[in-house]
Amino acid sequence: MLISRLMVVIMLAVAVSTAAAQQVYKRQNADGSVTYSDQPLPQAEVINLQPVPVTEFTTHTPVTTQTQTAMPTVTDAAAPTAQIIAPAQQAAVRANDGSVAVRWQTTPNPLPDGYQLQLRVDQRIAWQGSSQTELTLTDIDRGERRLQLRVLDAEGNEVSRSDTIVVYVLRANINSPALATGATSGDGGGNDGN
């Protein structure tokens, strides 16, 4: 009971933003209940409220130290870039033999001397060179494949990369029931109609 009374007093103190400027009155009723009010009541006593504690936060500026001057580097705007233009993002490529044609463009075209491209399929290097703008990948497994071009400088450091292109390679399954019965597309699944 004492805790609930104390909680009421605390809640009143917090709820009233100008608690220090206002008075709170407490009255014990005949039935034993307690009434709190901000208006003077007959036979009420004044409750002295302490000001609500306020924590002030100060901002500070982190101390910076002078570091070594950085060596000038090639900015991203000056670095050659590459972009895959075919196949399109999320394309379904039917390739029963696993061949997927990839075309790209570079900026500038051709690449400056010493720069090379690296074509990756699922993060593995599939080709590296500088003079081509298209290539047919072979023996690509069916399923989701991720293609990406990376531009390398003369030391082999990556200076830029293309967006990753996701393609879905579709290959016929040799365990297909239609292939086992000799059916071809559109003939009704091997049924001769008799």
Query: Using an 8 Å Cβ cutoff, are 118 and 106 in contact?
Result: no
- Tell me the sheet residues that pair with 93: 169
**Nearest residue to 103 via CA among 171, 167, 153:** 167
pTM above 0.75, yes or no: no
Q: Block means of pLDDT (10 residues each) for the chain, length 194 residues? A: 69 58 81 86 82 70 54 56 91 88 89 90 90 88 91 91 92 69 52 48
Q: What is the pLDDT, as a whole number, of residue 14?
A: 64
Q: What is the pLDDT, as a whole number, of residue 171?
A: 83
Domain locations along the chain: 2-47, 81-170
Q: What is the pLDDT, as a whole number, of residue 69?
A: 43
- In this structure, the number of other CB atoms found within 10 A of the CB of residue 27 comes to 15
**CATH classification of 81-170 is 2.30.40.10, yes or no?**
no
Q: What is the pLDDT, as a whole number, of residue 145?
A: 92
Q: What is the pLDDT, as a whole number, of residue 194?
A: 47
